[in-house]
Structure 1
Amino acid sequence: MPMPPAPSSRLSGPTRRGLLGAGAAGAALFGLAACGSGTSHTGATSGGSPKATTRTVDSAKGPLTIPAAPQRVVAINDFPMAAMFDLGLTPAGVFNAGEEYVPQRDLAKWKPIPKVSDGVGGAIQVEKVAALRPDLIIGIDAQANLPYDQLSALAPTVLLPFTKSTAPWRDMADQTAAVLGVPNALDRLKQRYTERTAQLRKEYATVLARTRWDLLQGGFDEGNWWLYGHGSPIGGILGDAGARFATASARLGVQQSVSYELVTGRLADADAVFYYTTNDGKPANLGPKLFAQKSFQQLPATRSKHLFGSIYFLPGGYEDALAALDDFEKALRSL
């Protein structure tokens, strides 16, 4: 990831693999930057002013007092996890969405971090979180069956307003940085993103003008796959880079579950397809079954070998968005 219901997923946990935002509000409306300092103090700064030990931030649950400089942050969703990685920070614990969905660049950092869910994609386990002695917990408001009261008893628990976001990879990253007290720390990555999209639009203008894209994920539902639209996070990223969409993705706002029987009807006019992979480069989820369908094999994009995959198809932050642009450029070079 009010939003339309996401297609069902084998991951019962609250991960971006099965959530997609479709609200109308932008990041500027969320107000997650610190909005005041607390009254608890540890002494004086070098200038003689008292140094606050707490800050007040807004969250989906309302104003919340948190440590001024949290040291043991547990990310119970992979959006704040990705944001912390972008910030060069290591969470004390993370939700386990599955190793195959973690980009290769993050695997070495991700593997030793304690996991706080009940196995891959499972529910958040309060006992596992408690064992890490967190001083701050960060999640999103779309998390189902979240033991919020129990988590709040352990540490301040900030839920980011995912359900109001049109670009979760950007909004959740910005808001995580604000909650952690470093709202400007991602400015360099933001500038890189702006420059990168402009560079792709200019350098590949000719191929962008003649190519129409559809966006898809193999999904987790037998007999169905997931189509993504121009208004989805990946659609927005490729659109920023100048991508033009084929009929199916152009007409769809965010995301839709589609049966195998409709492969030809939905994808026949696409010149190229951009799809979701695991970190070994293979089609993710039930992608191999979709790609094996005779109707899929006969698509113009398939016959032309214009199928291009990326593990960054479901981006969690700025680094993911930039890497998705890198994969998009590889595709553009071959067209």
Structure 2
Amino acid sequence: MRGVVTATPYRLAGRESPNSKRVGYPICDSKQCSQGGPLTKFHARITALALTVAAFGVTATACSSTEATSDGAGSATRSIETVRGTVDVPETPLRVVTLEPVELDTSVALGVVPVGTAVLSEVSGVPSYLGAEAADIATVGTVAEPTIEDIAALQPDLILGTETRHAEYYDQLSALAPTVFIASQSDPWRDSVRFVGRILGKEAKAEELLTAYDNRCGEIAEKFGTEGKTAQLIRPRNGELTLYGPSSFAGSTLECAGFTTPPRPEWADEISVDLSPELAAQASADLIVVTATDPSDPAAIPASITANAAALPNPHAVDQSYWITGVGPKGGQAVLDDIDRILSD
């Protein structure tokens, strides 16, 4: 069987644009997410590579060169040079399985619809915001606990996952198909989009999608004059209010559209922070956005928010499936659709 090396996403040492700062996309909060380095091709090299990563940091830049090759069986592959070594992936993958939301969203956006995906909830299944083309994707367990038997039944030719979530499954997955992990679900989402594009041989298309996202942000900012205004994303859960900062996926999209997140000292290190209901007024902003599983539910916005109308004026309920977990080009456009709609009302 062809050897496979995990890899970290392509990452720049500096910012590419005002919108390319480090942006995480937690399904868990950053304080709940652990970091981990990808596995290597040869087990004997694990210790040496781990020391190298510790010395240079997990944000080391991966090489971006690719080379088309053919294995002994004659099937075309692309060799991608990274800081982890050489990753051999199919030149044109046809049966991709994704285990992370950003990999699912990006693959669909790039026109490479996976045959299977892990989902956040087997009850809700594949997110509807991805459109009709994603409706028939088979589910293979949850993001936290993918089901190896279900993945094997799909006969994948490429598997994409995440080191911090799926390291324990790597040996089983790589026995089924070439397996590539991003380092962490908290990595900058734009870098992960580029990485998936590179793995799928769709680098130019991935850049086009990110450019379209940036352009849409600029159009909204100009249309509604958002510069100088503040916006706060709030997620009610477990009796508390979770505030999302500028390095979260949707928080970064609000900032991309011209808003500023109200400053908090926690934003230096955290993607989100929890407030007790009695402190709801601390979330004060010009625009208040509240996530819900059903935005049409009159009870979607909790009383702790509506009771603080002076500090939290006119809160808007939005769909949690893409504001919190819809990480990627399609999720980004869905969030921008909501922002445009809200500001047009």
Query: Which letter maps to 1:246?
Result: P
Q: Which residues of structure 1 form unaligned runs of 5+?
A: 1-14, 44-51
Alignment partner, residue 108 of structure 2: 85
Alignment of 1:98-109 (within 5 A): 98=121, 100=124, 103-106=127-130, 108-109=132-133
Instruction: Work out whether residues 214 and 274 of structure 1, in 8 Å CA contact, stay in contact via their aligned partners in 2.
Output: yes
* Distance in 2 between residues matched to 1:88 and 1:159, nearest whole Å: 20
The alignment partner of 1:159 has SS state of strand
Q: CA RMSD, aligned part only?
A: 3.5
Letter in 2 for 1:298: A
Instruction: Quote the residue 1:7 is aligned against.
Output: none
Question: How far, CA to CA, are the matches of 1:19 and 1:178 in structure 2?
Answer: 27
Equivalent position of 2:117 in the other structure: 94
Shift of 1:194: 2.3
Q: Unpaired runs of 5+ in structure 2?
A: 1-24, 36-56
Answer whether contact 1:271 1:301 (CA < 8 A) is retained: no
- One of 311, 315, 321 as aligned partner of 1:306: 315
Give the corresponding residue for 2:90: 67
2:20 alignment partner in structure 1: none
For the 8 Å contact 1:214–1:249, the answer to whether it is kept is no
Q: Which of 67, 70, 76 is the aligned partner of 2:99?
A: 76
How big is each residue's C-alpha offset from its partner over 1:134-191, in whole Å with a ceiling of 9 and x where there is no partner? 111011222156411111111111001335723x2x2222111110112112233223
Count of equivalent residues: 295
The one-letter amino acid of 1:109's match is E
Distance 1:282 1:148 in 2: 41
Aligned-partner SS, 2:138: coil
- The equivalent residue for 1:29 is 61
Query: What amino acid sits opposite 2:156 in the alignment?
Result: P
Aligned to 2:45: none
Counterpart in the other structure of 2:234: 216
TM-score by length of 2: 0.73
Q: Do the aligned partners of residues 228 and 58 (structure 1) sit closer, same or farther apart at CA in structure 2, a change above 3 Å counting?
A: farther
> Is the CA contact 2:163–2:182 (under 8 Å) kept in the aligned structure 1?
yes
Matching residue of 2:155: 133
Name the stretch that deviates more: 106-115 or 180-189: 106-115
Change (3 A) 1:192 1:301: farther
Structure 1 residue 249, shift from structure 2 partner: 9.2
Q: Does 1:262 align with 2:304?
A: no
1:320 and 1:201 map into 2 onto residues whose CA distance is 18
Distance 2:266 2:215 in 1: 25
Structure 2 match to 1:204: 224
Partner Cα separation in structure 2 for residue 177 and residue 242 of structure 1: 27
Q: 1:17 and 2:27 equivalent?
A: yes
Aligned to 2:341: 330
What percentage of residue pairs aligned between the two structures are identical? 24
Q: Distance in 2 between matches of 1:162 and 1:122?
A: 13
Q: What one-letter code is carried by the residue in structure 2 that aligns with 1:113? A: I
Distance 2:335 2:59 in 1: 21
Aligned-pair CA distance for 1:82: 0.7
1:270-285 aligned at under 5 Å gives the runs: 270-278=285-293, 280-282=294-296
